[in-house]
Amino acid sequence: MILHITSKQDWSAAQARGEYTAPSLATEGFIHFSTDKQAVNVANAFYRGRTDLVLLVVDETKLKPELKWEAPAGPPADNISQADLFPHLYGPLNLDAVASVLDFQPDSATGTFTLPKLSN
């Protein structure tokens, strides 16, 4: 399983359209994903303060577009190693690959994210 962080609004829009796209698909050519080991660091680096997020749990064996494991795109962020390979999806996410959608909220006291229990 691979993970993608998005807003509840963007996920609702994807369900209405029948596929999920992220702004990075237009600007970088792919959608950013993470492993369960990477997702919290990504959330704390790029989504701090956001309370409108969900975590898409995706079965990579059901993906239709090409998935590549690559170095992080862009400048390095805190707690994200340039040596780590991240899953990048080169096309829209087909919704039948989404195994579950989890509420993804930061801790109200610290503002940091922790990984919810992943179920599939």
Domain-embedded: residue 77: yes
User: Is residue 66 domain-resident?
Assistant: yes
Q: Is residue 111 part of a domain?
A: no
Domain containing 90 — which CATH number?
A: 3.20.170.20
* C-alpha to C-alpha distance for 63 and 4, rounded to whole angstroms: 13
Residue 55 belongs to what domain range? 2-104
pLDDT digit string (tens) for 58-90?
999 999 999 999 988 666 566 666 567 899 999
**Residue 58: other Cβ atoms inside 10 A:** 27
For the stretch 21-62, pLDDT in tens is 999 999 999 999 999 999 999 999 899 889 999 999 999 999
Q: Give the total number of structural domains in the chain.
A: 1
Predicted TM-score (pTM) of this structure: 0.90
Partners of residue 7 on adjacent β-strands: 53
H or E stretch including 19? strand 19-20
